[in-house]
Structure 1
Amino acid sequence: MFGKRKKKAVPAAVCAVIVAAGSSRRMGGENKLLLPLGDVPVLAHTLAAFEKCADVRDIVLVCREQDIVPYTELARTFGISKLRTVTRGGGSRTASVLAGVNAAPEDTALVAVHDGARPLVSEAVISEAVYAAAAHGAAAPVVPVKDSIKRIENGVIAADVPRDTLAAVQTPQVFARPLLLRALNEAARQGQAYTDDCAAVEALGQPVYATHGSYENIKITTPEDIAVAEALLQKEEI
C-alpha cells in the first residue's frame, strides 16, 4: 500500500492551507473549530501542529467571512507566527482550497491542504507527505480500512470488497503548487465540486503517492468525535 520514502530535499517554500470554511451542520450548527479540546480550541491545535512542523514555512487559513476576525485573534492568542493571511472561502471545498492556494506566498513550491477539523495530526504524518510530494508531485496520508467492507445492491449484501485494496485517506494532502492550481481550475471550469483534493488531481491523470497516516488523525465531525479526541489527547499527555 505504501512506497518507500524518497530521500529528497524539501523545498523551503511549503505552505499549509488550512481549510476551515465549513458550517458544522453535523454539530448542530455550533462552530466545532471553536469547541474546547483539552481547554484549547480545536482550531488552535490544528494550527499549532503546522506551526511546530519544521518542514512548513507558511500557513494560510481559509474560513467563512464571519470567522475571519475571531480566527485571526485566535491565531494571535496562540502564537501562530507562520500565519500569513486569513482568507474567505468559497461555496464548495474546491473553491475554498483554490482561494487558499491563490492566497499563498508567490514562491510557494508545495501546498499542504489540511482539514481544520483534524487537530491531532502529527509532525511525522505532515513531514512524510511533504517529502513524498517533493519527490512525486502529489502525496496523501492513508490508513488501512479495519472493517470488512460489503457492496450493497437493493438493500442486500451483493459482494465482499477485498479489504487489503482499500484505505481511508486523510490530510494533509500535499501537491506541487502548479499541479494543484491546474487541477482546481479545471474542476472549477467543469463545475466539479470534489470533497477530496486528491480527486481533482487524479482527474488530470496524475497519480497520488500514498504515505502513512495515523488512526489518531481523526476529523471532528460529530459530538462523539470530541470525546474520542479528548481521550487521544489525554493518552498523548500521559
Structure 2
Amino acid sequence: MGSEPKQFMQLGGRPILAWSVAAMAHSSIIDEIVVVSDYAHEEKAHNIAVSCADGKPVKVVRGGAIRQESVMAGLSAVDDGIKWVAVHDAARPLLTTALLEGVYLLAREVGAAIPVLPINDTIKEADDNRFILRTIDRSRLYLAQTPQICKRLDLARAFEEAQMLNLKATDEASLLEFIGISVGMAEGSALNIKITFPDDLRLAEAIIAAWGTSWMRG
C-alpha cells in the first residue's frame, strides 16, 4: 500500500482509521474505544479517534510487533468493568452498526462470535511451484472477518495460555478455540472489506461515493 500506514490513508475525505472508530462510536453497545498504535503514530491516532468517537471514552495504547501482541496490549487497557470486547481491524472501514450488533447478539447467546462469509470461488491447493495439487471442498469453509466478540476474561485467559505455549494465531477466534471455547459464526458482510491492496481502497472509495454514510447503519 506504500510507505504511509494504511490506517492513515485518506478514504472518502478522512483517514481509514476514522471510519472504523466512527462505526464503533455510532453503536449503543460500545462503551469505550481502545485504539492500538505504533509509537511513532500514537498522537496522530489519538487525535483521529477522539475527533470521531462521538464523545465516547477513547484510549490509545502502544502495540506490538504482531497482531496478537497488539490485541493483548489493547485488552490490558480495557476497563475492568467491561464484560464483553469486540476486536476490530482498523483496516476494515466499512463496518456497519447492524453487523456489529448482530455479532454481539450471537456472542451473548453462545459465548463468542465472529462474522463470516461463505466462499464462492473454487479453492485450489498448490505445490511450491504453483501447480495445482488438488481442489478443496468449499462447502464448510468460510472467510473470517472482524469484529470478533467475546467475554473480556475469556480472551485474557486465551492470551495467557497462548503465551505459556508460545502459540501464535492470526485472529482471536483461533485462540478461543484453542482453550475450548466454541465460537459462533454470524453472517458477515461483503462490504466489510479489509484494505490490503490498492484495489481494495479504490473499491471502498466507490462504495462511499455511491452510498455516502448510509451503509454505516447496515
Q: TM-score, structure 1 length as denominator?
A: 0.84
1:161 aligns with 2:136: yes
Q: Could you tell me which residue of structure 2 aligns to residue 193 of structure 1?
A: 168
Moved more, 142-151 or 157-166: 157-166
Instruction: Map Cα deviations across residues 188-222 of structure 1 (whole Å, 9 max, x no partner).
Output: 22222211111111111211100011011001112
For the residue of structure 1 that corresponds to 2:80, the secondary structure is coil
Deviation at 1:160?
A: 2.1
For the residue of structure 1 that corresponds to 2:30, the secondary structure is coil
Give the partner amino acid of 1:192: L
Deviation at 1:122?
A: 0.7
Percent identity between the two aligned chains? 36
- Alpha-carbon distance change, 79 to 95 in structure 1, aligned in 2, over 3 angstroms: closer
Give the partner amino acid of 1:77: S
Query: Residues 197-236 of structure 1: matches in 2 within 5 Å?
Result: 197-236=172-211
Q: CA RMSD in A?
A: 1.5
Q: C-alpha distance in 1, partners of 2:54/2:72? A: 22
Q: C-alpha distance in 2, partners of 1:153/1:31? A: 33
Instruction: Map Cα deviations across residues 216-235 of structure 1 (whole Å, 9 max, x no partner).
Output: 10011122211011011122
Verify the 8 A CA contact 1:75 1:83 in the aligned structure 2.
no
- Alpha-carbon distance change, 86 to 234 in structure 1, aligned in 2, over 3 angstroms: same
1:50 aligns with 2:40: no
Query: Residues 10-29 of structure 1: matches in 2 within 5 Å?
Result: 27-29=1-3
Verify the 8 A CA contact 1:61 1:83 in the aligned structure 2.
no
Match for residue 5 of structure 2 among 17, 24, 31 = 31
Q: Could you tell me which residue of structure 1 aligns to residue 125 of structure 2?
A: 151
Deviation at 1:79?
A: 4.6
Q: Could you tell me which residue of structure 2 aligns to residue 61 of structure 1?
A: 35
Q: C-alpha distance in 1, partners of 2:30/2:51? A: 20
Q: C-alpha distance in 1, partners of 2:124/2:94? A: 30
Verify the 8 A CA contact 1:93 1:193 in the aligned structure 2.
no
Q: Could you tell me which residue of structure 2 aligns to residue 122 of structure 1?
A: 96
Q: C-alpha distance in 2, partners of 1:213/1:92? A: 25
- Alpha-carbon distance change, 59 to 152 in structure 1, aligned in 2, over 3 angstroms: same
Give the partner amino acid of 2:36: V
Q: C-alpha distance in 2, partners of 1:218/1:83? A: 26
Instruction: Map Cα deviations across residues 40-78 of structure 1 (whole Å, 9 max, x no partner).
Output: 111101100001011111111111111111111112333
Verify the 8 A CA contact 1:95 1:188 in the aligned structure 2.
no
Verify the 8 A CA contact 2:21 2:53 in the aligned structure 1.
no
Match for residue 52 of structure 2 among 64, 69, 78 = 78
Q: C-alpha distance in 2, partners of 1:60/1:79? A: 11
Alignment gaps of 5+ in structure 1: 1-26
Q: Could you tell me which residue of structure 2 aligns to residue 11 of structure 1?
A: none
Alignment gaps of 5+ in structure 2: none
List, as ranges, runs of 4+ consecutive aligned residues in structure 1 with deviation greater than 4 Å.
none
Give the partner amino acid of 2:3: G
Verify the 8 A CA contact 1:138 1:209 in the aligned structure 2.
yes
Instruction: Map Cα deviations across residues 66-120 of structure 1 (whole Å, 9 max, x no partner).
Output: 1111111112333542233111112221111111111001111111000011000
